[in-house]
Amino acid sequence: MTFELDDFLQASLDAAKDEYGEKFEDPRLVDTADFFGEAGGVVSIRLTGSSSPTHWAVGTPSILRIYDQSIAPASSDAYTYHMGVLVQEYPNLLSFSVKPPVEKEFDAFICHASEDKQGFVEPLASELTGMGFRIWYDDFVLKVGDSLRMSIDEGLARSRYGIVVFSDSFFGKSWPERELSGLVAKETSIGIKLILPIWHGIDKEVVLQHSPTLADKVALKTADLRIEEIAKRLAVVIRAEEAAS
């Protein structure tokens, strides 16, 4: 799934002007994302006369919304806010009573530190399983000395998505930077969104200390969302890929 970047950037400026009646400039693509099977992204834009970005344009060429950075300071906040808006506007996407067949054995695996299993991973897996998804997580409890990239590769061989729970305990395993940045490099090399990150009890500053590459990736945050809400947002992404396949 691709889109014309120049057209998307111009559409962001046009949408902002239509909504606010003022001129915007300097559109910059901050992140790409998948919305209901259509490629899109998060674009920072600046109200003319301002010295720094003031708004986000989030979505796809067909569904694009503008958000003031006062309500969504970071691109990940804008993405999360937009996903909530779309879930409200498209409630049919949350109907999981009938699931189409999938090619792989699991819809997603959850890669996590053992310390996060009982309090977060198990309840999240239970929520997703209750929605009808096949979730694999028992074999992905990471220990010191494990190969992160090998674990991810194993999971993706049998699952369509990898949900990775980043936390203090996760980073406490002292992964080499090359392994952390390799998660993003894998997606970049094939052009498909595969890794769905969750920041559990940490913020961007913590992620930056370990991997600037990962810090730029849009993530769901347990500081902002309950487990049920995180499951719904993950479900939208998984469900959208099924609809597009």
Burial (Cβ within 10 Å: 0-12, 13-18, ≥19) of residue 228: exposed
For residue 40, tell me if it sits in a domain: yes
pLDDT in tens, the chain (245 residues): 456 888 899 999 999 999 899 999 999 988 887 776 677 889 999 999 999 899 999 998 888 999 999 888 888 788 888 887 877 776 665 554 334 444 578 888 888 888 999 899 999 999 999 999 999 887 656 665 666 667 777 777 788 888 989 999 988 877 665 556 656 665 555 556 778 899 999 999 998 888 877 787 789 999 999 999 999 999 988 876 554 45
For residue 150, tell me if it sits in a domain: yes
Helix pair angle (227-244, 75-89), 10° resolution: 70
pLDDT at 230: 95
Q: Which residues pair with 9 in a beta bridge?
A: none
DSSP state letters, 4-30: -HHHHHHHHHHHHHHHHSS-EEEEEEE
Strands 64-68 and 55-59, bridge-based pairing:
antiparallel
Nearest to 96 by CA among 237, 239, 227: 239
Of 55, 89, 123, the position where a domain reaches its end is 89
| From 154, 179, 187, 242, the catalytic residue | 179
Which residues fall within 8 angstroms of residue 10, CB to CB, at 6 or more apart? 27
Same domain, 50 and 158: no
Same domain, 174 and 75: no
Same domain, 73 and 149: no
Nearest to 86 by CA among 67, 70, 104, 65: 65
pLDDT at 143: 63
* CATH number, domain containing residue 219: 3.40.50.10140
Stated pTM of the model: 0.57
pLDDT at 61: 85
For residue 95, tell me if it sits in a domain: no
How many structural domains compose the chain?
A: 2
Same domain, 149 and 42: no
Same domain, 137 and 197: yes
Of 63, 89, 115, the position where a domain reaches its end is 89
Q: What are phi and psi of 81, to 5 degrees?
A: -60, -45
pLDDT at 244: 47
pLDDT at 146: 62
**Contact of 113 with 170, CB cutoff 8 Å:** yes
Q: Examine the residue annotation and report whether 177 is marked as an active-site residue of this protein.
A: no
pLDDT at 137: 84
pLDDT at 198: 95
Domain extent at residue 165? 100-244
